[in-house]
A and B are shown apart, each in its own frame.
Chain A
Amino acid sequence: KQEVTQIPAALSVPEGENLVLNCSFTDSAIYNLQWFRQDPGKGLTSLLLIQSSQREQTSGRLNASLDKSSGRSTLYIAASQPGDSATYLCAALSAGAGSYQLTFGKGTKLSVIP
């Protein structure tokens, strides 16, 4: 059974700093890994999707990497802004019972201080 762990659970940084969020998964047989953002009381916003054959994806100030063999992914946020404050979730898509299963980590709550 796939398990996804995110470290740290919470992170507070001053505005302008670069930061890294970590995600690890136990079963390396994944189809893809996604990073999401969740604002309080809101749904999920997909940030980046990395297919199992890819090593990284970039979107603006965000860069996500994937090392399938070691079961790790990182989300790098450059020049953080107060608007980046949210909970960031990673999720691994793998084979489930007769279908696919998306397994989430518990998230990292990011606070960017002005």
Chain B
Amino acid sequence: GAVVSQHPSRVICKSGTSVKIECRSLDFQATTMFWYRQFPKQSLMLMATSNEGSKATYEQGVEKDKFLINHASLTLSTLTVTSAHPEDSSFYICSASFSNTEAFFGQGTRLTVV
């Protein structure tokens, strides 16, 4: 299957700082990228959907000014957690797909805000 690379896999940051997570589709062009977060023992919750070249669509309850998503090219999307707080500590996963075909997932980023 296609490969989606997510970086970094783990990050620890101080409260108040910003963290950027990258999601790259290595061998295909991703027209759509999805960002999820997962709290312990819970399922993945969709945060936002981004299409290349357009603004991301955020799910209800997700602060767009806090979770900045950029999908500048068909192979790269970034999620920036701005002014991170301990409650933002979570597991973030991106997925990429071309049209309505199979979604391929990155390996996730464990964010810890101290």
Binding site for B on A (CB under 8 A): 31-32, 34, 36, 41-44, 46, 49, 89, 91, 93, 96-107
Contacts and interface: CB of A to CB of B under 8 A. Distances in A.
Nearest to B91: A41
Interface in B90-114: 91, 93, 95, 97, 100-108, 110
B100 A102 contact: no
Question: Could you tell me the dominant secondary structure of chain B's interface residues?
Answer: strand
A100 B97 contact: yes
B1 A46 contact: yes
Interface in B55-110: 57, 91, 93, 95, 97, 100-108, 110
Given A32-B102, A41-B110, A46-B1, A101 B46 contact: yes
Nearest to B1: A46
B103 A102 contact: yes
B34 to A, nearest CB: 6
Contacts of A99: 32, 49, 51, 57
Contact of A93 (B43, B44, B57, B103): B103
A49 B1 CA distance: 11
A89 B61 CA distance: 23
B105 A46 contact: yes
A43 B6 contact: yes
B93 A104 contact: no
A46 B102 contact: yes
Given A43-B106, A89-B43, A100-B32, 17 more contacts: A31-B100, A32-B100, A36-B105, A42-B107, A44-B44, A44-B93, A46-B102, A46-B105, A89-B44, A91-B103, A96-B49, A97-B49, A97-B57, A98-B57, A99-B57, A104-B43, A107-B43
B61 to A, nearest CB: 13
Nearest to A106: B43
